[in-house]
Amino acid sequence: MGVSSQISGFGRAGFGTRHYNLKPETFNTYLNSTFNALVFFYFFTMNKLERAAYTAKRLEELYPQPAIPLHHKDPFTLLISVLLSAQCTDVRVNQTTPALFALADNPMDMSRLSVQTIEDIIRPCGLAPSKAKAIAGLSKILLDTHGGRVPSTFEDLEALPGVGHKTASVVMAQAFGFPAFPVDTHIHRLAQRWGLTNGKNVQQTEKDLKRLFPKEAWNRLHLQIIYYGREFCSARGCDGTVCEICRTCYPNRRKPFVNRKA
Ligand code: SF4
């Protein structure tokens, strides 16, 4: 990659309106003194809002119609699928749920299955004993407390066994269309690499992303970031200097980027 392409980017003077494409000679002239280097890096490095705007634009171009990856037909089957996806891939969940939903695709039928039967079916998803117990338990609560329906508030969802804030956020967003920004370890990792959060923890990352992006974009962005992560950015596969978004947001990044864990 030539120097001129490394320093192509959007400057502070007008994000989205000016595109710098400096020649190597100009770049070297700028870097001839420390002062000039500081000036250069200030003017040719995006700030957080610019990085957010660029990232959203690029993700929209790459994934204009991000589909919900977990197969489901209603809020209940989505809730069960999201619960099963903890520490498991969506592909594996989608391979497993047809057998489970053939026996029980609603709280009434699910609560009639023994925990052992559920556990045997969902074993490929991992953590089967605790997930089976949670599925049986939450199905009973849905019947006893919510008239057999999945509730549409964070409070009620997070009171169900096996349902944490991330699972509740996915259900609120994808089943009920409520603006949410579920942050899993992948989104936590990418948001750090793109300089959208300092990555203190997933709660802080969720707050930071919600502050940076408009509410109506949250649900789509959550899916788009997941798709980008899967296609380009694996957990260990990159040091933050390789692909388009990182290179555009951080044209001066030279050292490997080190993530903070969730
Ligand atoms: S450069 Fe690396 S860390 Fe950055 S988004 Fe691309 S793959 Fe991920």
Interacting residues of 113 by C-beta distance below 8 A, sequence separation 6+: 103, 104, 136
Match 């049986």 to its residue by tokens: 136
Distance 228 CA to ligand 1 centre (A): 9
- Quick one: pLDDT at residue 14? 34
Q: Which domains does the chain possess?
A: 3-45 (no CATH), 47-67+181-262 (1.10.1670.10), 75-174 (1.10.340.30)
Query: Which among 111, 118, 119, 106 is positioned nearest to 79, based on CA atoms?
Result: 106
The model's pTM is 0.81
Q: Please list the active-site residues.
A: 166, 184
Q: What is the mean pLDDT of each run of 10 residues along the chain (262 residues)?
A: 35 36 45 49 72 96 96 98 96 98 98 98 98 98 98 98 97 97 91 90 95 96 95 76 87 76 68
3-state secondary structure of 225: helix
Q: Measured between alpha carbons, how far is 205 from 191 in angstroms, rounded to an integer?
A: 7
Could you tell me if the CB of 191 is within 6 A of ligand 1?
Answer: no
Q: How far is the CA of 78 from the centre of ligand 1 (A)?
A: 30
Query: CB of 154 closer than 6 A to ligand 1?
Result: no
pLDDT at residue 147, as a whole number:
97
Output the residue whose Cα is nearest ligand 1's atom 3. 240
In the prediction, which pLDDT does 36 show?
Answer: 53
Ligand 1: centre distance to CA 239 (Å) = 7
Looking at the CA of residue 247, tell me the nearest atom of ligand 1: 1
Whole-number pLDDT of residue 49: 92
**Per-residue tokens: 185:** 């370890």
Task: Give the integer Cα–Cα distance in Å for 241 and 253.
Answer: 7
